[in-house]
Structures are given as C-alpha cells and as structure tokens.
Amino acid sequence: MKIEQTQLIGLFFHTFKLTDNKLDIALHWQGIVVGNPQPEWYLVQLFEWMHGTDSNIQLVNIEDMADWKFYKDKEGFDLGYERIK
C-alpha cells in the first residue's frame, strides 16, 4: 500500500536513538509534520522536551522517517509519550 505524500502532514511523532552505551534506545525528537515541499522531503516542527513548545523546524527525507512512531492526534501523541518515557 503506497502512502500519498501529503498523508503524513499533521501527524505527531516521536523519534528514537541509541544511547551512548549502544545498548538502549532513548527518545530523540518529538513534533509534528507540517509540510511536504518536495516529493520525499518533509518539514517537521520539533517541540521542546521540557515545555512542549515549538523549537526548530527541520527538513527530513522520508527514508530517515522509517523508524518514527506516528500519531494521528495530540491525545495519541501524549499517551504514546507516557508509555515510552
């Protein structure tokens, strides 16, 4: 099933990275997908960890988003955070 480019816009997400010991996975980024300026490229609005306020906007290739956890709404995003923190 192919996902249309614009279907990711508006989805909240969490990303993960290996910890320094390379044995565990930790939360890395949190935010929302806000744009699709070119095929396979997305603008994502990142949120601060402490306050949840907007921080940076990043340009990300779809290939780098393969392991991200997406949520359709803020409620799911908040619940997801509580489960994985």
| Distance between CA atoms of residues 61 and 83, nearest Å | 27
| pLDDT for 1 | 46
Residue 3 has pLDDT above 80, yes or no: no
Residue 24 has pLDDT above 90, yes or no: no
- The type of residue at 72 is K
Rounded to 5°, the CA angle 40-27-54 comes to 70
Mean pLDDT for 12-40 is: 89
In this prediction, residue 14 has a pLDDT band, given cuts at 50, 70 and 90, of very high
| Distance between CA atoms of residues 84 and 24, nearest Å | 13
Q: What is the pTM of this model?
A: 0.82
| pLDDT for 35 | 96
